[in-house]
Amino acid sequence: MSYYEKHVFFCTNIREDGGQCCSQHGAQEMRDYAKSRIKKLDLNGAGKIRINSAGCLDRCDEGPVLVVYPDAVWYTYVDKEDIDEIVDQHLVNGKVVERLKI
């Protein structure tokens, strides 16, 4: 069994050359928001859900990205409402949010 039921990685990379990157789209703020939501729902910790920052996930041309493991589902997002939908539908209820999937 995995240490976490779900492990969510938010790309928070900053490209030094000024190229397109997730941090230009508020990735760190959205990661912090998701982590806060998971804590409020008491879903963080061993056997539950872990929200992490990641370096470049190499999909920056698709907007800000996150990936949920072990499901290997990749998402893009625009705002906190999108993050809420990913948390509520995928992380809590196990349903992939097709409209945000990449």
Whether residue 32 lies inside any domain: the answer is: yes
φ, ψ (nearest 5 deg) of residue 37: -60, -45
Number of folded domains in the chain? 1
Structural domain containing residue 74:
6-100
- Which pTM value belongs to this model? 0.93
Task: Supply the CATH number for residue 66's domain.
Answer: 3.40.30.10
Amino acid 10: pLDDT: 97
Whether residue 1 lies inside any domain: the answer is: no
Mean pLDDT of the chain: 94
Amino acid 1: pLDDT: 62
Amino acid 42: pLDDT: 98
Q: CA-based angle 26:52:23, to the nearest 5?
A: 20
Per-residue pLDDT tens digits for 16-65: 887 788 888 899 999 999 999 999 999 999 999 999 999 999 897 888 99
Per-residue pLDDT tens digits for 78-92: 999 999 999 999 999
Whether residue 77 lies inside any domain: the answer is: yes
Peptide bond into 64 cis (omega under 30): no
